[in-house]
Chains A and B, each alone.
Chain A
Amino acid sequence: MEFDWTEEDLSYRSELRDFLAEELPGRWEGATAVLGSADNAEYSRRFAGLLAEKGWLTPHWPTEWGGTGATPWMLAVLGEELWSRGEPRGPQYMNVNWIGPSIMAHGTPEQCQRYLPPIAAGDVIWCQGFSEPEAGTDLASLRTRAVLDGDDYVVNGSKIWTSYGDIADHCYLLVRTDAQAERHLGISVLLMAMDSPGLVVRPIPGMVGEHSFTELFLTDVRIPVANRLGPENEGWSVVREALSFERVGAPRWARAAHVLDETVRDAMEQGRSIDPVTVEAVGVAKTACEAARMLCYRVIDERARDLPPSPHANVARVAMVQAERLVADACAALQGNEIMRYGSDSDLQMRKSLAAGVAAGTYEVQLNLVSRRHLRLPKN
C-alpha cells in the first residue's frame, strides 16, 4: 500500500471538485434535507444523470457497461467527494457500489442488458429488500416465500425498513425458495419491479428523515423466473459477496469529517470561545475520521489488487461508526444549542450517528466478525 495518490487520481479529484462547486453551490440544501425522501429523488436523478454524462457515475465499471475501466481508487475519490457533500446521488450510490456489480457478476446477458445501462445512465432507483420483521441481524431466517408456478415465482410475505421503497423502480429482493433446506441454502435473489401487482408499499415515518423507511407487503406477486439473479437457492452467497462491496462503499467518515470541519469553521468565524475539553473532543473526533479513512483505504487497496474480501472491511466499518459518533458528540459540544436547529448539518449528523451502528450491518455483528476473523477468537 502506498500512501500517495496518482496524478490521475489527483486531477480527477480536482476536476470533480470544480464540477461540484458549480453544481452544488455553497452548502447544497439537499445535503441537510432528508436522504431518501421524495424531494431528493428528482434532484438525485438529475444529478446522477449529469455525472453519467461525464463518465463519472460508474468509472470503475468495464467499458462495455458504460464504465471507463478506472481503478477502485477513482470510485473511492468519487464516494468521498459526494458523501462529504451529503450524497447528492441519493439512493443511486447503492446501484453503483453493489447492485450493478452484483448483476454484472451473476446476471444473465439479458439481465445485464436490461438493468445495467439505466444504472450507468443514472436514471433508475433501486431499493434493498432484505430485512423482515423477524429477520434483522439474523437475515438468514427470512421467510418471504417464493413458489415456482410456470415461468413465474409467486411471492408472499413482507419486508421492512426498506429505504427508498416509495421511490424505487426496482427491488433487489431476498426470498426463500426452498423451505426445507438448511436456512442459508434455500434463499434466492429476485429482481422485482416495484410496480408489480400485489405489492403494497407503506411508509414508516423515521427520525433519520421523514419517510426514509418503508414496509413492503407482497401478496401473490408474480416475478418472472427470468428475474432471478444467480442460481436458485444460492442467493446467500450472491448477497454476501454483494455486501462485501458495500461495507466501505459508503464512506460515511467523509461526511462526518466534513461536518466536523464546517462546524469548527463556523465556531471560529463566530468567535465562539471553545473550552479545552471541547478542543480535545474535536481532536479525538478528527483523529477517528482519519483512522476510518485509512482503514477504508486498506480495503480499497485490497480491491484494487483483486485480493479476496478480508476482515479488514469489518475493521473499517467499526472505525466508521466510532468516528461518526465522536463527530456528533464533538459538534454538540462545539455548537451548543445551535446543533438543535432541525435539519442543520450537525443535527443530521447526530441523527445519522445514532443510526450508524444499526444500518448496513450492526456494530455488534461487525465486532463479532472482527473477533472471529481478525483476532481468530472462537465462536461462543
Chain B
Amino acid sequence: MSLDLSYRSEQEELARSVDGLCRRCGTGAGFTDSDPLPEQYWRGLAELGVLGLGTAAGGGGALEIAACMEQLGAHGAPGPLVGTFTAGALLDPSEMEPISGGRQLASVGQPPLLPWAAQAGVFVEIDSSEAWLSRPVSAPEPVDTTAGEPWGRTELERLRPLGDATTAVALGQTAAAAYLAGAAQNLVEIASQYAKDRVQFNRPIATFQAISHPLASCSVAVSASRILARAAACALDNRDPDAPAAAARARLSATASATAAAYQAHQTFGAIGFTIEGPVAHVSLRIRQLSLQPVPQASARAHVLESLGI
C-alpha cells in the first residue's frame, strides 16, 4: 500500500497564493472587518481561479479545492465558499461563469433560510440527493447570522432540475471539511503559541497540563480530520464509489475536531478570545456556522451508515 496524501506542488502553490491573498485582504488578526465579503478578496479568489475549481472551464479537482479550503479556513476567510464549489459541480458552464468570475454569488441550501441570500444572484435548492436551479419567490428577508453572514429567508421556486446531487454534496462536504480542518489547525497553532507566551503564576501557561493536554488532544483530532478531508478529495478525484461516504466521514470528523479546537482555543486565550478584534472569536464563530451547513450532520451520518450497509 502507499499513502501519499500530501498536496502536489501545483496545489501547494495555489494554496500559497490563497494564503497571500488572505494576508493582504484580511485585517491583522484575519477577517474581522464588518464587511461580510471584502470585494478585493472575493475578486482576488476569482482571479486566482479558485472560484472555478472543479468545473470543466476552471480545471482542477477536489484536491485543489481542499488545498485552498485549508488555507481559507486557517484565515477564517468569509464568503459562500462551500456553495460555490457545490454549484460548480451542478450548474452549466454558462450559469457558472459569473460565479467563478466573482461577479455573482451562489446561494446553495435548503429553503427557507438560505446562505448569502441577501446578496446572491443564483439559487440552488439542494437536499442530500437532488438539486434544482431555483429562484426566490419574493425578495429574501435579511437574516444576520452567528458569523455575520448576510443570509435570507425566502421560499424558492424550482426552475430546472439539476439531477443527482450526490457528487456535488460530497464535494461540498469535502470542501467544508478541509476548511474546518484548516481553521482548527490554525486555532491549535495560535493557541499553542499563546500558551508559550502567556505567563501566569510566574510560568508560561503551556506548562500547565490542564492547558497542554487538551491542546495535544485537539491536535490529534485535527490531524485525523485533515487526512480524512484529503482522502475524501482523492476519492472524489478518482471517482471512487466510496467518495460520498468518505466525504461524510471527513465532514463529521472535521466538525467535531473544529468545534473542540474552538472551545480549547477560547479556554487557552482566556478573555482575549472573546474580543471581536482578537484572533479567536471570528474563527470560532465561523466554525460554528460552517459546521451546520449546508447539509446537516444527520445526513452525513446517514451516508456513513449507508456505506456500512446499515
Asked if A341 and B144 sit within 8 Å, CB to CB, the answer is yes
The number of chain A residues with a CB under 8 A from chain B is: 42
- Chain B residues with Cβ below 8 Å from A318 are none
Asked if A206 and B262 sit within 8 Å, CB to CB, the answer is no
Q: Kindly identify which residue among A160, A339, A363 contacts B267, using a CB–CB cutoff of 8 Å.
A: A363
CB distance from B241 to the nearest CB of A (A): 24
- Chain B residues with Cβ below 8 Å from A332 are 288, 291-292
Chain A 86-120, CB-CB to B under 8 Å as 1, else 0, gives 00000000000000000000000000000000000
- Chain B residues with Cβ below 8 Å from A357 are 263, 266-267
Chain B 71-96, CB-CB to A under 8 Å as 1, else 0, gives 00000000000000000000000000
Given A337-B113, A340-B145, A342-B145, residue A213 in contact with residue B274 (CB < 8 A): yes
A208-B280 Cα distance, complex, nearest whole Å: 13
Q: Say yes or no: is A182 at the interface (Cβ < 8 Å to chain B).
A: no
Asked if A355 and B109 sit within 8 Å, CB to CB, the answer is no
A150-B266 Cα distance, complex, nearest whole Å: 44
- Chain B residues with Cβ below 8 Å from A136 are 200, 270-271
Given A275-B298, A358-B267, residue A205 in contact with residue B210 (CB < 8 A): no
Asked if A339 and B284 sit within 8 Å, CB to CB, the answer is no
A350-B259 Cα distance, complex, nearest whole Å: 11
Within 8 A of A (CB), among B127-148: 143-148
- Chain B residues with Cβ below 8 Å from A160 are 271
Q: Say yes or no: is B276 at the interface (Cβ < 8 Å to chain A).
A: yes
Given A354-B284, A362-B267, residue A208 in contact with residue B201 (CB < 8 A): no
Asked if A364 and B271 sit within 8 Å, CB to CB, the answer is no
Q: Say yes or no: is A158 at the interface (Cβ < 8 Å to chain B).
A: no
Asked if B271 and A207 sit within 8 Å, CB to CB, the answer is no
Asked if A342 and B276 sit within 8 Å, CB to CB, the answer is no
Q: Which of B109, B289, B302: most chain A Cβ within 10 A?
A: B289
Given A138-B200, A364-B211, residue A355 in contact with residue B145 (CB < 8 A): no
A73-B97 Cα distance, complex, nearest whole Å: 66
Q: Say yes or no: is B163 at the interface (Cβ < 8 Å to chain A).
A: no
Asked if A364 and B208 sit within 8 Å, CB to CB, the answer is yes
Q: Say yes or no: is B281 at the interface (Cβ < 8 Å to chain A).
A: yes
A206-B281 Cα distance, complex, nearest whole Å: 9
Asked if A329 and B146 sit within 8 Å, CB to CB, the answer is no
Closest to B211 in A: A364
- Chain B residues with Cβ below 8 Å from A278 are 298
Q: Which of A277, A332, A347: most chain B Cβ within 10 A?
A: A332
Q: Say yes or no: is B277 at the interface (Cβ < 8 Å to chain A).
A: yes
Q: Say yes or no: is A38 at the interface (Cβ < 8 Å to chain B).
A: no
Closest to A161 in B: B271
A207-B266 Cα distance, complex, nearest whole Å: 12
Chain A 193-223, CB-CB to B under 8 Å as 1, else 0, gives 0000000000011111010010000000000
Asked if A277 and B292 sit within 8 Å, CB to CB, the answer is no
Asked if B145 and A354 sit within 8 Å, CB to CB, the answer is no
Q: Say yes or no: is B296 at the interface (Cβ < 8 Å to chain A).
A: yes
Q: Which of B143, B147, B259, B270: most chain A Cβ within 10 A?
A: B270
Q: Say yes or no: is B273 at the interface (Cβ < 8 Å to chain A).
A: yes
Asked if A342 and B270 sit within 8 Å, CB to CB, the answer is no
A329-B275 Cα distance, complex, nearest whole Å: 22
Q: Kindly identify which residue among B113, B259, B271 contacts A358, using a CB–CB cutoff of 8 Å.
A: B271
Q: Say yes or no: is B297 at the interface (Cβ < 8 Å to chain A).
A: yes
- Chain A residues with Cβ below 8 Å from B17 are none
Q: Say yes or no: is A237 at the interface (Cβ < 8 Å to chain B).
A: no
- Chain A residues with Cβ below 8 Å from B113 are 337-338, 341
A211-B200 Cα distance, complex, nearest whole Å: 26
Q: Say yes or no: is B158 at the interface (Cβ < 8 Å to chain A).
A: no
Asked if B145 and A207 sit within 8 Å, CB to CB, the answer is no
Within 8 A of A (CB), among B92-128: 109-110, 113
Q: Kindly identify which residue among B145, B267, B273 contacts A364, using a CB–CB cutoff of 8 Å.
A: B267
Q: Kindly identify which residue among B109, B281, B289, B297 contacts A207, using a CB–CB cutoff of 8 Å.
A: B281
Q: Which of B211, B285, B302: most chain A Cβ within 10 A?
A: B285
CB distance from B296 to the nearest CB of A (A): 5
Q: Kindly identify which residue among B148, B259, B274 contacts A329, using a CB–CB cutoff of 8 Å.
A: B259
Closest to B269 in A: A358
Q: Say yes or no: is A333 at the interface (Cβ < 8 Å to chain B).
A: yes
Q: Say yes or no: is B301 at the interface (Cβ < 8 Å to chain A).
A: yes
Closest to A341 in B: B143
12 intermolecular pairs with C-beta atoms under 8 Å apart = A134-B199, A161-B271, A207-B275, A207-B281, A207-B285, A332-B288, A337-B292, A340-B146, A350-B288, A354-B262, A363-B267, A364-B267
Binding site for A on B (CB under 8 A): 109-110, 113, 143-149, 151, 199-201, 208, 210-211, 259, 262-263, 266-267, 270-271, 273-277, 281, 284-285, 288-289, 291-293, 296-298, 301-302
Binding site for B on A (CB under 8 A): 131, 134, 136-138, 141, 160-161, 204-208, 210, 213, 275, 277-278, 325, 329, 332-333, 336-343, 347, 350, 354-355, 357-359, 362-364, 367-368
The 5 closest A-B pairs by CB, nearest first: A275-B298, A364-B210, A340-B145, A138-B200, A205-B276
Q: A138-B200, A342-B146, A362-B270 are in contact. List 14 more A-B contacts (CB 8 A).
A: A136-B200, A136-B271, A205-B275, A206-B275, A207-B274, A325-B263, A337-B109, A337-B110, A340-B147, A341-B145, A350-B288, A362-B267, A364-B211, A367-B210
